[in-house]
A and B are shown apart, each in its own frame.
Chain A
Amino acid sequence: MRKPHKPVDKVSRSLAVWVVCCWASIVTAASPGTAPDQTTTAIDFNRDVRPILSDNCFHCHGPDSATREAGLRLDLQTEATHDLGGYAALVPGDADASELIRRIESEDDPMPPDESNRKLTAAEKHTLRRWIESGGDFAKHWSFAPPVRPAIPVVDQETKNPIDAFVAQRQHAVGLTFSAEADPETLIRRVTLDLNGLPPAPSQVDAFVADYSRNGDAAWDRLVDRLLQSPRYGETMALPWLDAARFADTDGYQYDGPRFQWRWRDWVIDAYNTNLPFDQFTMQQLAGDLMPPAETRQATNNQIIATAFNRNHRYNSESGLVVEEFLLENAVDRVDTTATLWMGLTVGCARCHDHKFDPISQRDYYQLLAFFNSVPEAGRAVKNGNSEPTAMAPTDQQFARLLELEQATETAARQLNPADHPDDSVQLVDRSLAHAFPLTELPKEHAKATGAASFADNSLVLDGDSTLEIGEITKAITFRADSSFSVAFWLRPDDLRDSVILSRQTTTTTRPGIELSLVDGGRLQFDLITRWVAGVGRATSTLPLAPDRWTHVTITYDGSQSARGQRIYFDGKPIATDVTYNTNSNVGGVKQNRPLILGGGIRPDSQNLIGALRDVRLYTNELWAEEVALLGADPSSPERQTFAQVKPTPAYKRYVRHRETLDAFRKTLPTVMVMQDTATPKTTFVRNRGVYNKHGEQVQRAVPGMLPPMPEHFPRNRLGLAMWLVAPEHPLTARVAVNRYWQKYFGTGLVKTPEDFGTQSELPSHPELLDWLATEFIASGWDIAHMQKLIVTSRTYRQRSQVTPRQLDVDPSNAYLARTPRLRLDAHAIRDQALFVSGLLAERVGGPSVSPYQPDGLWAEMSMGMKYKQSDGEDLFRRSLYTIWKRTVAPPTMSVFDAADRESCWVGRKRTNTPLQALTLLNETGFVESARQLAVRMMATDDPIGFGFRTVTARPPEPHERKTLQQALDGYRGEFTESPAAASELITVGRSPQFDQGDPIELAACTLLANVLLNLDEVITRE
């Protein structure tokens, strides 16, 4: 019900209706991705010629206008054939008349020149000659033209769905055929690991084997559907997306402080589990904040959470950074990631200059960047926590509670009745009041007047050379950037010169604390300083104060470490502010013994106030607007008079209680860093050589010129961009996505370079199959689960993975897919499987990151004081997708098995085979503990060896394997009998429950045997 899977097109399964494909020239190609025999086959520009030109010529004669030599451009037909004064580089049909041929064949003045480190082979020269002789036609690079749905070829092998027809057709050309189908045990393990990231339980294997022998494909379909419906599917699909989206739990630069983006990870898992169509998946992540509101407030909020995708990039909090530089780096990362992930384009090259190979100009690059740089962000990350803009990101449960509390507060507000009886216990607006200094006279304690400070008119009068210092300020007022506070006072400036009204700061050069000043003809400047000048929040009122007149001023702060949380009110009304500094990454805080200085500050160049102050109040909380309004009412007004005398009613107290509960609850809610656009887009300039402060021409938002234009009616913002990406005529989006899906199951994509579909990429091994899949993806309504099902139900996927010597000889890299590849499991699956087979795995979808075992001291040795705090209980045994990822010190058990580093977008897959992996699997605490718990499970059966082996491989051991294992177990038992102390050490590794009954010797022996089982090549491999 929640996942509308479309059945694979029944019609297309029928061999009879498939028609002959017209791609004859490709069918006869000798090997995917390699050049065919050039003397007998027609020249195909994209396959044969473009790679030669791109590798050897485009660097100086390509799209980059800045490095173009001799004004000659060889990536466009019109330019290449252009008359150069009686001759041309390319004369169609006449190689001998073509300057290009003359130069590449020239002995004394060859192209490419010797010093270029580029050289053409004789065969390449011959190809260019033949190409020109046959007309010298150019074709658009294959991936820049929209995919056309190819006809499904008729083939002489049995097929399960169209995928197989395309694969069989290519096999035919080299005389290969599909391998036999894998054993059902192998099949269920393979598909369960691929779709759910975990192996099947032995009982599931049994059930499937029986079902499959009776019902064949129907049983396979049922199995696949079950796996697609499992919440584990979403977790498994989310992993490569997290790698690509450079998701992590820390900022990634220098201090590498924590951030909290896990609610976005929840969103991704959920998106796959509800089978959110890929176009929605795209639009919500790129532009959920700009989409129309969804049906419910929660759904709308989820759309906004999705945009965390573009805030997952690394973010620097280093004190010395230049904000402009990192604002650019942030936007660059967004552009590069988006282009890689949706378009397979390496646009990053065009940051500094026109792309050398693909028709993407530097201008194109910054036009694209203009979609991503209007975020109201500081440019310097908050050191510990999420950096603005952020969104509240409650879980479903929290959302329900939030609505409840909001409702209760509203109800309480409605019940407020001015006529209610007063109650003497709490004074209105004294909520969180820390100090009140009426200043009708010199305060009796801790006050020191300097200069000619005097009291008149019930106020403190200052002459520009005087101050009043008040000491013993409560500890509750720290002016830390992560604490909330408010300051309120009446002010009569008698001169609007730049001067300090009030300050409280530590007297170091970094001056942490607050300073309120008059600047710029009476505007109020509110500085919250953590470390001058690297850490400052500065909000300045857009309106000036009037001279010689009393104004009530309140400043409030919400503890968000953002200058946008610094608010200014005049006479109880909010005043718009300009934010000029917003870099409070640290929290700062004033020294406890520092006084509040009225009328002056500690800045060496500052002047003192000329004017009068009264009723200065310090609050330990951010006042509510209504409280500020009341505070700021005219002292002679009825409101103010009432305020002075009236006490709050029981109803008001109830309201306060509800509202404070609500406020407190909101503070406990998770947040997530999200995308937002400023009301007016920020101006964008080309940056010369990519350097942040070398501005070139100004550009507007636009998509690269070589791709289909963005329709007029699309909004010119990220939403329009997202809509453009998923428009059916976009040539890249669907191809790039299905290629990644293919890579997931076959280890290699149909295009080997999932990050690059440009002219430097390898040609697809199966171009028609790629296009068929791409068009199928679009036609299915971007149904992600449908594509997974298509692939895993194909015959291609269900082959044996055994390789014959002939296959190894003819097709060592398995480009023809005459077998299903054996693939080592990825890092996460290796650990998850061990937890699963041992019964330790704590399955719970979503939630904050957890900290499983890690060798002591790893963080401390490299970071600036961050210590790894290992989780307790269940959290030690969650799926690895939830393991905390500190970018600069990644979890070693993941890194050693080639997990992506999460520093930047990564869509490839690495699979190495190293001794460090062996050491990890043999010795790491978690893996040894898993062996110990698997041993407990083994011992609970009649056949520990058979059960253990089946649990990890899904198949029963062969007799000789059983014999080897039995002998091993007997040997281990003997060893541990000799040294029982060793046995008791081994069976207590890890924090999970100890085995307290039965024979410790037997358990140790079984543990060691399970340790062997978990290290088998077959076990860490998807066969």
Chain B
Amino acid sequence: MNKHPRRNFLGNATSGLGGIALASLLSGESTTASETSLPALADYKRFALKAKRVIYLFQSGGPPQHDLFDHKPLLDKMQGQEVPESVFAGQRLTGMTAGQSSFPVARSKFKFDRFGDSAMELNSELLPHLGGVADQIALVRSLHTEAINHDPAITFFQTGFQIAGRPSIGAWSSYGLGSENENLPAYVAMTSNRGGQALYDRLWGAGFLPSHHQGVRFRSGKNPVLNLNNPAGISADLRRQTLDVLGDLNRSRYGATGDPEIQTRIAQYEMAFRMQTSVPELADLSSEPESTFDLYGEDARKPGTFAYNVLMARRLSEQGVRFVQLFHRGWDTHSNLPKQLSQRCQETDQASAGLISDLKRRGLLDETLVVWGGEFGRTVYCQGDLSATNYGRDHHPRCFSMWMAGGGIKGGTSHGKTDEYGYNIVEDPVSVHDLHATILHLMGIDHQRLTYKFQGRHYRLTDVDGNVVRNILS
């Protein structure tokens, strides 16, 4: 009865330049409207392609650096005392705490320890798994940003600009490097945790780039892509039959009109049909060995969790998806920080570290860049009521921590230094543009040369700024 045997399309992934023609089909590049403004390849692909693919674990809301990555022993002594005026140095505060009459220091209630040969100092209560892979990661403690509110800050991180309208980092990488897999998009975004700060389409949008560079949001469960399933009552066989009819009629119209766009459309329908098989295959975890769940944790079996998404990210990445980005919500710890933070780490620590171990055992870590971090940091002073066991922290743009691992990253590195309050950077500041420049660099791209002309100007992800952070490169 099965007239069209199911094929395993995932095995057919073409890689690199060989797949260009097909890749352009998937990308939806119109045959009549060419992308004239893509600079010549040699122009911007100037460095070794260290990270063929990126998995970016975005922690939305702003993880607190004092409690996770940037241990400040002084705070134990200063607990409850006012942050000295000299530390503020004219910094603007958010509208939420600007009206506070007091800015008492809140120490972290968590223990820190040193991990690995590199003796990297991390929260040992909440990040034990990350500690286990400390020698694989580069921890940057000196990130800083320009925005103090979520929307502008996360938009800045994703697009290099605080105001909506520019392409996201994944769209830029799709534009610059294309897809590695003809059956899957070049850029996939996934979200987890329904509570917390909102997320926006624009975070994985294409801005003014052609819209096929926008990230495709994969949802959790069997049908990650919208409208992937045939309508009730239409089997795969029946769908195949309709596509054959459709193909015949479209080909006949091509004969009558000569419009090459029709050929593209025919190919896109075939691609859609293949995706109906390939995408559910991706989401079918039954082929994963038990050891996978030892690495990522039991949560990875549950669609909708961060751990599940991380595992999906690896599966997507393995199939050549250029840029996979997860957005985990709920890091906005204005109050009840200890409890909220424990929950977030419970959800993310094992899977994040597990991803690194998994990529490593599969021999993929060398060519896959993993990035972990949020849109800003949190204040050393308490927001709301401070007690011995409970406190909250407001948004803090002046310094915060992120980590990277894999393709082209020097493991076991700690980069950048903040003052003893964890309020200001004292050594090796890294801006968001610097981070972007570094990610593109690892993807073999000169961030100053990957441009797109719009409104008469050659735009780039890093605007007019950005220096590669060489110290964390291998």
A residues within 8 Å of B by Cβ?
A: 117, 252-256, 314, 316, 318-323, 329, 346, 348-349, 356-358, 380, 509, 531-534, 583, 604-605, 693, 753, 755-756, 758-761, 801-805, 808, 812-814, 822, 824, 855, 857, 860-864, 887-890, 892, 895-896, 898, 901, 903-904, 910-920, 922-925, 928, 958, 960-961, 964-965, 968, 971-972, 975, 981-989, 1004, 1008, 1011-1012, 1015-1018, 1023
Contacts known (A318-B150, A533-B99, A1008-B238); A903 close to B245, Cβ less than 8 A = no
Residues B100 and A509 in contact, CB atoms below 8 Å apart: yes
Does B345 interact with chain A (Cβ within 8 Å)?
no
Which B residues, 26 to 46, have Cβ-Cβ distances below 8 Å to chain A?
A: 26-30, 32-33
Q: How far is the CB of B465 from chain A (nearest CB, A)?
A: 12
22 A-B Cβ contacts within 8 A? A117-B449, A322-B94, A380-B95, A509-B385, A533-B95, A753-B456, A756-B455, A760-B456, A803-B258, A861-B194, A863-B198, A864-B198, A915-B28, A916-B226, A919-B272, A920-B227, A922-B269, A964-B252, A968-B245, A984-B233, A1016-B250, A1018-B250
Most buried by B among A117, A323, A824: A117
Contact for A803 among B226, B242, B259, B266, CB less than 8 A? B259
Residues A318 and B210 in contact, CB atoms below 8 Å apart: no
Contacts of A761 in B (CB 8 A): 456
Residues A1017 and B253 in contact, CB atoms below 8 Å apart: yes
Given A861-B219, A1011-B231, 19 additional A-B pairs, CB 8 A: A320-B149, A321-B95, A532-B99, A534-B95, A534-B96, A756-B455, A761-B456, A802-B259, A855-B227, A862-B191, A901-B201, A912-B211, A918-B268, A922-B239, A922-B272, A982-B233, A982-B235, A1012-B249, A1017-B265
Contacts of A904 in B (CB 8 A): 163-165
Residues A915 and B151 in contact, CB atoms below 8 Å apart: no
Bound Cα distance from A814 to B238, whole angstroms:
39
Most buried by B among A532, A533, A801: A533
Most buried by A among B202, B237, B258, B454: B258
Q: How far is the CB of A974 from chain B (nearest CB, A)?
A: 10
Q: How far is the CB of A761 from chain B (nearest CB, A)?
A: 6
Does B390 interact with chain A (Cβ within 8 Å)?
no
Bound Cα distance from A274 to B233, whole angstroms:
47
Contacts of A975 in B (CB 8 A): 237-238, 241
Contacts of B252 in A (CB 8 A): 958, 960-961, 964
Bound Cα distance from A916 to B228, whole angstroms:
8
Contact for A915 among B26, B191, B199, CB less than 8 A? B26
Bound Cα distance from A975 to B245, whole angstroms:
15
Residues B191 and A861 in contact, CB atoms below 8 Å apart: yes
Encoded as 1 (CB less than 8 Å from any A CB) or 0, chain B from 229 to 255 comes to 111111101110110011011101100
Contact for A117 among B230, B241, B448, B453, CB less than 8 A? B448
Does B64 interact with chain A (Cβ within 8 Å)?
no
Most buried by B among A534, A758, A814: A534
Residues A892 and B226 in contact, CB atoms below 8 Å apart: yes
Contacts of A605 in B (CB 8 A): 101
Encoded as 1 (CB less than 8 Å from any A CB) or 0, chain B from 1 to 31 comes to 0000000000000000000000000111110
Nearest opposing residue in chain A for B208, CB measure: A908
Residues A803 and B257 in contact, CB atoms below 8 Å apart: yes
Does B410 interact with chain A (Cβ within 8 Å)?
no
Residues B455 and A918 in contact, CB atoms below 8 Å apart: no
Bound Cα distance from A693 to B90, whole angstroms:
13
Does B340 interact with chain A (Cβ within 8 Å)?
no
Bound Cα distance from A576 to B71, whole angstroms:
53
Does B89 interact with chain A (Cβ within 8 Å)?
no
Residues A889 and B245 in contact, CB atoms below 8 Å apart: no
Contacts known (A254-B149, A919-B227, A1016-B253); A983 close to B269, Cβ less than 8 A = no
B residues within 8 Å of A by Cβ?
A: 26-30, 32-33, 92, 94-96, 98-101, 148-151, 163-165, 191, 194, 196-202, 205, 210-212, 216, 219, 225-235, 237-239, 241-242, 245-246, 248-250, 252-253, 256-262, 264-266, 268-269, 271-272, 275-276, 384-385, 394-395, 448-449, 453-457
Contact for A254 among B150, B194, B237, B394, CB less than 8 A? B150
Contacts of B256 in A (CB 8 A): 802
Contacts known (A914-B212, A1016-B249); A888 close to B202, Cβ less than 8 A = yes
Contacts of B231 in A (CB 8 A): 923, 925, 928, 986, 989, 1011
Contacts known (A801-B257, A802-B256); A961 close to B249, Cβ less than 8 A = yes
Bound Cα distance from A911 to B210, whole angstroms:
8
Contacts of B268 in A (CB 8 A): 913-915, 917-918
Contacts of B257 in A (CB 8 A): 801-803, 822, 1023
Bound Cα distance from A782 to B269, whole angstroms:
44
Contacts of B201 in A (CB 8 A): 888-890, 895, 901
Nearest opposing residue in chain B for A535, CB measure: B95
Contacts known (A802-B256, A919-B227, A1015-B246); A911 close to B30, Cβ less than 8 A = yes
Bound Cα distance from A346 to B454, whole angstroms:
10
Bound Cα distance from A804 to B258, whole angstroms:
7
Contacts of B196 in A (CB 8 A): 864
